[in-house]
Structure 1
Amino acid sequence: MTQGRSIRLFLVDGTPNGLLTAEIMNWTGHVLTGPRSRLSELVQRPECGRTGIYFLVGADPEGDLRPLVYIGESDDVATRLKQHNRPEDKGGKDFWERVCLITSKDQNLTKAHVKYLESLLIQKAGAVGRCKLANGTAHEYVGLPESDRADMAFFIEQVRTVLPVLGLDFLRSTTKISPSPGLERQAPTELEPNQSVSVSPRLKMEVKRQNIVAFAQEVEGEFVVLEGSLARGEWIDLKHNYRHLYKQLCDEGVLVDDGNGFKMFTRDYGFTSPSSAAAAVAGRAANGRVDWKVEATGQTYADWQDQQVNAAAAMPNESV
């Protein structure tokens, strides 16, 4: 079990939907975020006159279920944000609803640093696949000494730690569980720094009339369907909103034809709930808490989870 970490959040105007700052102990980075509706106040903050990186986040106007994200850098972020706030026909960007700016408290970030950070963050966001990028291809930027590159690697990992706390998940990796459901479960890889591993037993779902079998595990609160699992060859419940998720998985190549009339997961994929995962497998609405079962015992996910809660409640409290 790894040690906890403290993140200091400050509501600038005392409201949860206004400007917010975030800092991590022993990290020189400083985070400022807020809605686009408060941009006039945000650009007056001293942080916006510094060198930094920023994220513009909003819904994808083309209907992708993932957020649309633009990653940028500037010596004067306030000026860049004012440019992005213009109408799109005047060089601005219409899609974004929220901005997140990251600078350094000691103001030691240089133009070379933020160019390097921008390049790496675009690469990481694209590889993680939790957002749709409004950027083009990331430019390779290696104009930093080795020691500075090491410092920037640490800086990025702190960024990836603090952003999910602010509701921005697009840099958080999905833990790799196993290369295929036919193999024994292995220890998860690709863990976040300082992440303790919390993994459920391997779960199995069957759609018996279709001969569909899928496997999953719950990892750090995310429901991950394993690479090689099968799914229905087409979506059949036209009224349910999960059909958009199924289509997106097909469009992104997460689900591909297996040659036998089914779809197959090409990689481990994290869902927000057992029911959304079950729906993707069944090709229709499904109750994942019942349909997913512990592979070794046949116990439903709901019963297994209830057992874990009762066992934890029965344990004596330990003073810290």
Structure 2
Amino acid sequence: MTQGRSIRLFLVDGTPNGLLTAEIMNWTGHVLTGPRTKLTELVQRPECGRTGIYFLVGPDLEGSPRPQVYIGESDDVGTRLKQHNRPEDKGGKDFWEKVCLVTSKDQNLTKAHVKYLESLLIQSAGELGRCKLVNGTAHEYINLPESDRADMAFFMEQIRTVLPVLGLDFLRGRPMPSHPSSILKPSPAASPKFVAEVPRYGIKAYGQELDGEFYVLEGSIARGTWTGVDGGYQSLYQQLCDEGVLVEDENKVRRFASDYAFTSPSAAAAVVSGRSANGRIHWKLEGTGQTYGAWQDQQVSAAATLGKSRSELA
């Protein structure tokens, strides 16, 4: 069972869409985030004058559902952000709509620390594939004592914990149900397996729910081309083809070369079917034929009954 964590969030200007700070108990890190429209207020904050790591986040202009992300470091984050805010033809960056910076409350982060962190974060974001990195490849930086590298590994794990709470998922680990040894942290038990079939087109895919995402498992068969209406999950289907997640197989179908996490069963069903699909009906419990929707309702009802019983005993 994973241990609970306490994260303290503070709305700087009292609005949910303004500046936000985040801290974890017993961690020296401090996170400040906000929209680009609030950059004037953000650069006036004392955190911006410290050494730290920052993330610039924006939508992919080519239509991919993954965000574009730039990861940087500076010993004066505020000055660097002002440079990035310039027009692109003057050395700035146009794509970003949100900024997040991570500094240290005790100001013990040095230039060497953040260069090492930047290298680790770029490498991790690239391997996870949840975003389109604007940086390109990571520069390996190993000029740090062993004890400092251990401290930075812990610091990075806290960053990976707090960023998803702020809606920034690009550093969140991807457990692979088909390869249990690849799961980065102990996770709640995965759901039973579900099957999606369209026998007429030779489609048969397997899926599991894990950590709030719906995974289509490696080796699953999907439709060879997108046949649904334009839009919807068409861009995601094409993205998976371009990235080699969906590879051409025999009989004009495509095969999942690795496990892939979808945001919902319907997104997974649409990519497997090559058209829009209701995942709550399309996915069926292996061996029983029970729909995903009926299975989920059964789980919720059982949990509610258990919770009621415990409250009556209390």
Q: TM-score, normalised by structure 2?
A: 0.96
Cα shift readout 1:76-108 (whole Å, capped 9, x = no counterpart): 000000000000000000000000000011111
**Contact preservation (8 Å) 1:55, 1:100:** yes
Identical counterparts, % of pairs: 73
Cα shift readout 1:183-241 (whole Å, capped 9, x = no counterpart): xxxxx344454x53231101111111112110010001100000110100000013341
In 1, Cα distance between the equivalents of 2:73 and 2:18? 23
**Contact preservation (8 Å) 1:83, 1:92:** yes
Residue in structure 2 matched with residue 31 of structure 1 by the alignment = 31
In 1, Cα distance between the equivalents of 2:250 and 2:142? 43
Residue in structure 2 matched with residue 116 of structure 1 by the alignment = 116
Q: CA deviation at 1:18?
A: 0.5
**Contact preservation (8 Å) 2:63, 2:235:** no
Cα shift readout 1:128-173 (whole Å, capped 9, x = no counterpart): 0000000021101000111111111111110000000000000112
What are the equivalent positions in structure 2 for 1:1-320 lying under 5 Å apart? Answer: 1-179=1-179, 188-193=180-185, 195-315=186-306, 316-318=309-311
Partner of 1:113, secondary structure, is helix
Partner of 1:2, secondary structure, is coil
Partner of 1:263, secondary structure, is strand
Q: CA deviation at 1:61?
A: 1.9
Deviates more, 1:14-23 or 1:258-267: 258-267
Residue in structure 2 matched with residue 185 of structure 1 by the alignment = none
Task: Choose between structure 1 and 2: higher helix proportion.
Answer: 2
User: Letter of the aligned partner of 1:63 in structure 2?
Assistant: G
User: Letter of the aligned partner of 2:280 in structure 1?
Assistant: R
**Contact preservation (8 Å) 1:177, 1:189:** no
Partner of 1:307, secondary structure, is helix
Cα shift readout 1:102-137 (whole Å, capped 9, x = no counterpart): 001111100000000000100000000000000021
**Contact preservation (8 Å) 2:64, 2:236:** no
Partner of 2:252, secondary structure, is coil
User: Letter of the aligned partner of 1:107 in structure 2?
Assistant: Q
Q: TM-score, normalised by structure 1?
A: 0.94
**Contact preservation (8 Å) 1:240, 1:284:** no
User: Letter of the aligned partner of 1:250 in structure 2?
Assistant: C
Structure 1: gaps of 5 or more residues: 180-187
Aligned residues: 311
User: Letter of the aligned partner of 1:293 in structure 2?
Assistant: K
**Contact preservation (8 Å) 1:173, 1:190:** no
Structure 2: gaps of 5 or more residues: none
In 1, Cα distance between the equivalents of 2:296 and 2:63? 34
In 2, Cα distance between the equivalents of 1:239 and 1:61? 17
4+ aligned runs moved over 3 Å, structure 1: 188-193
**Contact preservation (8 Å) 2:58, 2:96:** yes
**Contact preservation (8 Å) 1:59, 1:68:** yes
**Contact preservation (8 Å) 1:51, 1:110:** yes
User: Letter of the aligned partner of 2:310 in structure 1?
Assistant: N
User: Letter of the aligned partner of 1:289 in structure 2?
Assistant: R
In 2, Cα distance between the equivalents of 1:264 and 1:282? 12
